């Protein structure tokens, strides 16, 4: 039976302490920031009407939660973001596979991909309203436009970054293009694909919130716009805080999947 030495136990304990220290520092920064913000607002150093305060934000959220409006807005925005993220990720990865599969098609479309990636998709918002109409479909399409190009370009870069020597070796043994892709290209590009998914989360949130700014009658974006229009800045800051929490949770979900995937690959 394997027994850890005293030096190994000390080293592992040091790693655990460092991990807990980093976690405590993260939460400590947030707590200090909120306490300082609240204190400055109560002392009148900052204008609580313009910059709000944690207690005022909590009050606004409590009022929305009691009336049920908060859950309505959170549900609408979360559903639009999840649909946009999932469809955009699947479509972006599928397009990246198609472009990798056909080198000719990839070379033909390369300048167009550069233009589409640089194009501010938000500018297409009014056009989407005319084409699709106002409401949830237009918001989801806006989220797709923002996320799918980033996902496709990032994943394609991972595919094209595969070492040519590995592909040459496989082909010398008679491997088909599908075998090259499934055995070398896609597994090798998994870290890049996960990074693309992380970027896609942020892009999906941007697309949804911008869409809600333009056409929505429900959602956190609509809540923020409404708060600004009626000068309820507590509502604006509270909605922004909820957005931060939801975006962080989605990001942590993808990061958790990445961690499990790496552990499975290491075990294999």
Q: Is the pLDDT at 5 greater than 70, yes or no? A: no
Q: Is the pLDDT at 120 greater than 80, yes or no? A: no
Are 41 and 73 in the same domain? no
The pTM score is: 0.77
pLDDT at 4: 58
Are 202 and 227 in the same domain? yes
Q: With H, G, I as helix, E, B as strand and everything else as coil, classify residue 102.
A: coil
pLDDT in tens, 88-114: 889 989 988 888 888 888 888 888 887
Are 235 and 208 in the same domain? yes
Structural domain containing residue 84: 55-267
Are 126 and 221 in the same domain? yes
Are 103 and 135 in the same domain? yes
Are 187 and 92 in the same domain? yes
Are 133 and 21 in the same domain? no
CA dist., res. 268 & res. 204, Å (int): 33
User: How far, CA to CA in Å, does 46 sit from each of 39, 50, 146, 190, 197?
Assistant: 9, 8, 36, 47, 39
Are 103 and 3 in the same domain? no
Q: Is the pLDDT at 29 greater than 50, yes or no? A: yes
Highest mean pLDDT pick, 18-22, 92-96, 119-123, 206-210: 92-96
Over residues 120-146, the mean pLDDT reads 76
CATH number at residue 70: 1.10.3720.10
Cβ neighbours, 10 Å, residue 237? 20
Q: CA nearest 128: which of 144, 117, 115?
A: 144
pLDDT in tens, 222-249: 888 888 877 888 888 888 888 888 888 8
Taking the CA atoms of residue 51, residue 53, residue 57 and residue 62 in that order, the dihedral angle to the nearest 10 degrees is -150
Per-residue pLDDT band for 1 (boundaries 50, 70, 90) equals very low
- Identify which has the larger pLDDT, 93 or 181: 93
Q: Is the pLDDT at 266 greater than 70, yes or no? A: no
Over residues 180-204, the mean pLDDT reads 83
Per-residue pLDDT band for 268 (boundaries 50, 70, 90) equals low
Are 22 and 101 in the same domain? no
Q: Is the pLDDT at 6 greater than 50, yes or no? A: yes
User: How far, CA to CA in Å, does 26 sit from each of 33, 73, 192?
Assistant: 11, 29, 27
pLDDT at 137: 81
| 116, 179 contact by CB (below 8 A) | no
Are 239 and 116 in the same domain? yes
* Total of domains in the chain: 2
Are 26 and 135 in the same domain? no
Are 237 and 211 in the same domain? yes
């Amino acid at each position: 039976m394997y027994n850890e030495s005293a030096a190994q136990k000390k080293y592992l304990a040091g790693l655990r302490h460092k991990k807990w220290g980093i976690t405590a520092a993260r939460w400590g920064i947030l707590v200090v920031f909120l306490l300082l913000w609240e204190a400055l607002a109560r002392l009148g150093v900052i204008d609580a009407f313009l910059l709000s305060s944690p207690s005022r934000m909590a009050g606004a959220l409590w009022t929305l939660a009691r009336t049920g409006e908060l859950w309505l807005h959170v549900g609408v925005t979360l559903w639009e973001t999840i649909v946009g993220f999932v469809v955009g990720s699947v479509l972006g990865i599928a397009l990246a596979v198609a472009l990798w599969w056909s080198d000719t098609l990839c070379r033909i479309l390369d300048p167009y991909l550069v233009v589409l990636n640089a194009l501010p998709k938000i500018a297409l918002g009014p056009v989407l309203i005319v084409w699709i109409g106002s409401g949830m479909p237009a918001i989801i399409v806006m989220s797709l436009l923002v996320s799918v190009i980033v996902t496709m370009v990032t994943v394609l870069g991972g595919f094209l970054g595969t070492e040519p020597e590995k592909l040459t070796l496989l082909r010398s043994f008679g491997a088909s293009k599908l075998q090259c892709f499934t055995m070398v290209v896609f597994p090798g590009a998994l870290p890049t694909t996960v990074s693309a998914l992380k970027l896609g989360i942020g892009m999906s949130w941007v697309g949804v919130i911008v869409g809600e700014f333009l056409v929505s009658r429900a959602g956190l974006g609509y809540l923020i716009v409404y708060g600004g229009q009626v000068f309820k800045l507590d509502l604006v800051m509270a909605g922004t805080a909820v957005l931060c929490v939801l975006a962080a949770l989605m990001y942590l979900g993808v990061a958790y999947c990445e961690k499990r995937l790496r552990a499975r690959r290491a075990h294999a």
